[in-house]
Amino acid sequence: MQLINHLKWRYATKKFDPSKDVSELDIEKLKKAIQLSPSSYGLQLYKVLVIKNKVLKEELLPASWNQNQVVDASHLFVFCQYSSVTSKDIDNIINLTAITQNTNFKKLEPYGDFIKSKINEKTDIEKNSWLKAQTYIALTNLLGACAELKIDSCPLEGFDTESYNKILNLSNKGLKATVIAAVGYRHNHDHTIERKKVRKPIDVLFETI
Ligand SMILES: Cc1cc2nc3c(=O)[nH]c(=O)nc-3n(C[C@H](O)[C@H](O)[C@H](O)COP(=O)(O)O)c2cc1C
């Protein structure tokens, strides 16, 4: 199974080679993998910023716990959840579904109403963590896609969300940064390359009932 080999190959890269860039062709493939990620009700209530501008990456460095991956990696993917979810967001996806699947909007409207009612049952805190969770599914697909393309990556939660929101002007766009991923090629001197993967044993991680 190739996926297992890819997952064994990848590791959270600590040192990227700043001289190696990921090609635009591969970046498009990575975007596609994110686009195809599943999401709750298919709503995709997030946006992903892909940053390759070095000046901007350097500006983000202090807000990223000074983790150099942010600057040295070729591209920085910033996953941003919607700050809130509105009826319009649901209508938009119902509309897109109607167009894509050549169905009548009116026929799909009851499903849209169902989604709205289920979301309305959530508290604001629940809505927020639900919106945030969607971005991690996309992150996972990005990491897997990188591994298949033999592109290195490092997911990062070690950053200051508020600073990111400010520097990237996210609040004005109704977005909030949730998690980021540095994407590029490992440096030969990354001392973590040889580290053995640490994972809990299967029988501890799973329980068959
Ligand atoms: C959501 C998330 C956030 C992470 N944040 C950081 C981070 O800020 N800095 C870092 O160096 N690694 C970070 N990591 C990498 C983990 O430490 C790493 O995935 C874990 O130790 C397993 O190692 P492996 O990915 O090399 O197999 C993060 C991983 C995930 C999934």
State the distance from the centre of ligand 1 to the C-alpha of 166, rounded, in angstroms. Answer: 24
Tell me the pLDDT tens digit for each residue of 32-44.
999 999 999 999 9
Cβ(182)–Cβ(208) under 8 Å?
A: no
Determine the pLDDT at residue 57: 98
- Choose among 180, 155, 154: nearest CA to 167: 180
Cβ(188)–Cβ(83) under 8 Å?
A: no
Identify the residue whose C-alpha is closest to ligand 1 atom 16.
12
Sequential DSSP letters for the chain: -HHHHHHHH--B-S-B-TT-PPPHHHHHHHHHHHHT---GGG---EEEEEE--HHHHHHHSGGGTT-THHHHSSEEEEEEEESS--HHHHHHHHHHHHHHTT--HHHHHHHHHHHHHHHHTS-HHHHHHHHHHHHHHHHHHHHHHHHHTT-EEEEE--S-HHHHHHHTT-GGGTEEEEEEEEEE-B-TT-TTTTPPP----HHHH----
Q: Is it the case that residue 170 has pLDDT exceeding 90?
A: yes
Q: Is it the case that residue 209 has pLDDT exceeding 90?
A: yes
Determine the pLDDT at residue 189: 94
State the distance from the centre of ligand 1 to the C-alpha of 124, rounded, in angstroms. Answer: 28
Q: What's the token pair of residue 54?
A: 């070095």
Q: Is it the case that residue 9 has pLDDT exceeding 90?
A: yes
**Using CB atoms within 10 A of its CB, is residue 172 exposed (0-12), middle (13-18) or buried (19+)?**
exposed
Determine the pLDDT at residue 103: 95
Domain holding 195, by residue range, is 2-205
Identify the residue whose C-alpha is closest to ligand 1 atom 29.
155
Q: How confident is the model at residue 194 (pLDDT cuts 50, 70, 90)?
A: confident
Q: Is it the case that residue 151 has pLDDT exceeding 90?
A: yes
Identify the residue whose C-alpha is closest to ligand 1 atom 18.
12
The mean pLDDT of the chain is 97
Most informative mutation of 140, 156, 198 for ligand 1 (most atoms within 8 A of CB)? 156
The dihedral of CA 101, 118, 173, 140: what is its sign? negative
Determine the pLDDT at residue 157: 98
State the distance from the centre of ligand 1 to the C-alpha of 154, rounded, in angstroms. Answer: 7
Structurally, the chain folds into a number of domains equal to: 1
State the distance from the centre of ligand 1 to the C-alpha of 174, rounded, in angstroms. Answer: 27
53 φ, ψ to 5°? -65, 120
State the distance from the centre of ligand 1 to the C-alpha of 157, rounded, in angstroms. Answer: 8
Ligand 1 binding pocket (C-beta < 6 A) is: 11-12, 14, 67, 154-158, 179, 197
State the distance from the centre of ligand 1 to the C-alpha of 14, rounded, in angstroms. Answer: 9
What is the pLDDT averaged over residues 101-121? 97
Residue positions counted in the chain:
209
Most informative mutation of 157, 193, 194 for ligand 1 (most atoms within 8 A of CB)? 157
The CA-based angle 138-111-33, given to 5 degrees, is 15
Determine the pLDDT at residue 101: 97
Residue 66 is part of a domain; what is its CATH number?
A: 3.40.109.10
